[in-house]
Amino acid sequence: MTRLYIAADHGGFHLKQALISYLVNYDVVDLGTESEESVDYPLYSDKIAACLKQDAEALGILICGTGLGVCMAVNRHRHIRAARCSTGLDAELARRHNNANVLCLGGRVIGVELAKHIVNHFLNSAFEGGRHQRRVNTFSTPAC
Ligand code: RB5
């Protein structure tokens, strides 16, 4: 069973709870936050990154208001390939071509049903390797 780490700030709290209820066939680890009280999203990006460092086969879902802040913050970590997705095709190609290991969603910009659709595409798609592996390999080299 795929392990999924999930975390959100206050802007993503409700969507996180909805997805946890939906993802009953996965081993879901909830890393918070636990309410709508204001928190700083980079903390939750760092929590997901730390878990995926120890558990490289797992995947992550990060949610903030837009999905943008958590994505920028978590991509600071070398072992993370996070994609902020707003369609099922985004999520599918993020897995197939970019080997994304974290899906970022915007709790204030997409509804629960669209989020479930995006998550399904993310979880049911696999990295294709080949020419995509060569390209992804360059991500771990500092650009400047
Ligand atoms: C919090 O108000 C909001 O800035 C955050 O959830 C996120 O959208 C940042 O990118």
CATH fold label, 3-140: Ribose 5-phosphate Isomerase B; Chain: A, (3.40.1400)
Q: Is the CB of 64 under 6 A from ligand 1?
A: yes
Query: What percent of the chain shows pLDDT beyond 90?
Result: 94
Position 143 scores a pLDDT of 83
What phi-psi label fits residue 14: left (phi over 0), alpha (psi between -120 and 50 degrees) or beta? alpha
Residue 142, pLDDT above cutoff 90: no
Query: Which residues are catalytic, by number?
Result: 64, 97
Q: Write the DSSP symbol of residue 96.
A: H
E-strand ranges in the chain read 3-8, 27-30, 59-64, 82-84, 102-106
Strand order of the β-sheet with 59-64 is 27-30, 3-8, 59-64, 102-106, 82-84
Where along the chain do its domains lie? 3-140
**Closest to 7 in 3D by CA, of 69, 78, 56, 97:** 69
Residue 141, pLDDT above cutoff 90: no
Query: What percent of the chain shows pLDDT beyond 70?
Result: 100
Structure tokens at 133: 């592996």
| pTM for this predicted structure | 0.98
Q: Is the CB of 67 under 6 A from ligand 1?
A: no
Position 140 scores a pLDDT of 82
Note the pLDDT tens digit of each residue in 65-84. Answer: 999 999 999 999 999 999 99
Note the pLDDT tens digit of each residue in 91-130. Answer: 999 999 999 999 999 999 999 999 999 999 999 999 999 9
Note the pLDDT tens digit of each residue in 39-49. Answer: 999 999 999 99
Position 2 scores a pLDDT of 86
- Ligand 1 atom with minimal separation from the 64 CA: 6
